[in-house]
Amino acid sequence: MKFKLSKHAESELLLRRIPRELLDAVLNNPQQVVPERGNKKAYQSQLDFGGGRIFLLRAIVDDTPNPAMVVTVYRIIKISKYWRQP
Protein backbone atom coordinates (compact mmCIF):
# COMPACT_ATOMS: atom_id res chain seq x y z
CA MET A 1 0.00 0.00 0.00
CA LYS A 2 1.19 3.51 -0.73
CA PHE A 3 1.04 6.27 1.86
CA LYS A 4 0.99 10.05 1.70
CA LEU A 5 1.84 12.23 4.70
CA SER A 6 -0.37 15.14 5.73
CA LYS A 7 1.37 18.41 6.50
CA HIS A 8 0.63 17.79 10.15
CA ALA A 9 2.29 14.34 10.04
CA GLU A 10 5.36 15.82 8.31
CA SER A 11 5.70 18.50 10.99
CA GLU A 12 5.24 15.92 13.76
CA LEU A 13 8.12 13.85 12.36
CA LEU A 14 10.41 16.86 12.74
CA LEU A 15 9.01 18.07 16.05
CA ARG A 16 9.19 14.64 17.69
CA ARG A 17 12.50 13.69 16.02
CA ILE A 18 11.12 10.52 14.45
CA PRO A 19 13.27 9.26 11.58
CA ARG A 20 11.31 8.86 8.35
CA GLU A 21 12.90 5.41 7.89
CA LEU A 22 11.26 4.19 11.12
CA LEU A 23 7.88 5.52 10.03
CA ASP A 24 8.22 3.83 6.63
CA ALA A 25 9.14 0.54 8.35
CA VAL A 26 6.03 0.71 10.57
CA LEU A 27 3.76 1.60 7.67
CA ASN A 28 5.08 -1.20 5.47
CA ASN A 29 5.39 -3.87 8.17
CA PRO A 30 3.48 -2.93 11.36
CA GLN A 31 3.45 -5.25 14.35
CA GLN A 32 -0.22 -4.31 14.81
CA VAL A 33 -2.98 -2.46 13.00
CA VAL A 34 -5.77 -1.43 15.35
CA PRO A 35 -8.99 0.47 14.64
CA GLU A 36 -9.25 4.10 15.71
CA ARG A 37 -12.07 6.65 15.38
CA GLY A 38 -14.01 6.75 12.14
CA ASN A 39 -12.20 5.33 9.14
CA LYS A 40 -8.80 5.63 10.75
CA LYS A 41 -6.43 2.88 11.85
CA ALA A 42 -3.29 2.95 13.98
CA TYR A 43 -0.28 1.24 12.43
CA GLN A 44 2.01 0.58 15.36
CA SER A 45 5.23 -1.17 16.36
CA GLN A 46 7.42 -1.34 19.44
CA LEU A 47 10.85 0.10 18.60
CA ASP A 48 14.12 0.97 20.30
CA PHE A 49 14.83 4.65 19.70
CA GLY A 50 18.28 4.30 21.25
CA GLY A 51 19.45 4.04 24.81
CA GLY A 52 17.61 0.75 25.32
CA ARG A 53 14.20 2.37 25.88
CA ILE A 54 11.37 0.82 23.92
CA PHE A 55 8.68 3.16 22.59
CA LEU A 56 5.49 2.51 20.68
CA LEU A 57 5.56 4.28 17.34
CA ARG A 58 2.01 4.97 16.15
CA ALA A 59 0.94 6.27 12.76
CA ILE A 60 -2.73 7.20 12.50
CA VAL A 61 -3.81 6.45 8.94
CA ASP A 62 -6.96 7.09 6.94
CA ASP A 63 -6.80 4.32 4.35
CA THR A 64 -9.99 5.23 2.48
CA PRO A 65 -8.28 7.58 -0.02
CA ASN A 66 -5.74 6.29 -2.52
CA PRO A 67 -2.94 6.66 -1.54
CA ALA A 68 -3.70 6.26 2.17
CA MET A 69 -3.16 9.40 4.25
CA VAL A 70 -0.98 9.44 7.37
CA VAL A 71 -2.82 11.93 9.57
CA THR A 72 -0.34 12.06 12.46
CA VAL A 73 2.56 10.15 13.94
CA TYR A 74 3.97 9.96 17.45
CA ARG A 75 5.89 7.77 19.86
CA ILE A 76 4.81 6.96 23.38
CA ILE A 77 6.40 5.17 26.33
CA LYS A 78 3.05 3.92 27.75
CA ILE A 79 2.89 0.91 25.44
CA SER A 80 0.23 -0.94 27.44
CA LYS A 81 -2.23 1.90 26.88
CA TYR A 82 -2.45 1.17 23.15
CA TRP A 83 -1.04 -2.34 22.64
CA ARG A 84 -3.68 -4.97 21.94
CA GLN A 85 -3.04 -8.51 23.19
CA PRO A 86 -4.11 -11.25 20.75
Mean pLDDT, residues 45-50: 92
What gap in Å lies between CA 9 and CA 20, rounded to an integer? 11
pTM listed for this prediction: 0.93
Nearest to residue 79, comparing CAs of 52, 49, 45?
45
Q: How many CB atoms lie within 10 A of CB 47?
A: 18
**Is the pLDDT at 85 greater than 90, yes or no?**
no
pLDDT reported for residue 1: 77
Q: In the CATH scheme, what is the code of domain 3-82?
A: 3.10.450
- In angstroms, rounded to a whole number, what is the distance separating the alpha carbons of residues 50 and 30? 19
Q: How confident is the model at residue 28 (pLDDT cuts 50, 70, 90)?
A: very high
Task: Note whether 72 and 7 are within 8 A (CB).
Answer: no
Domain ranges of the chain: 3-82
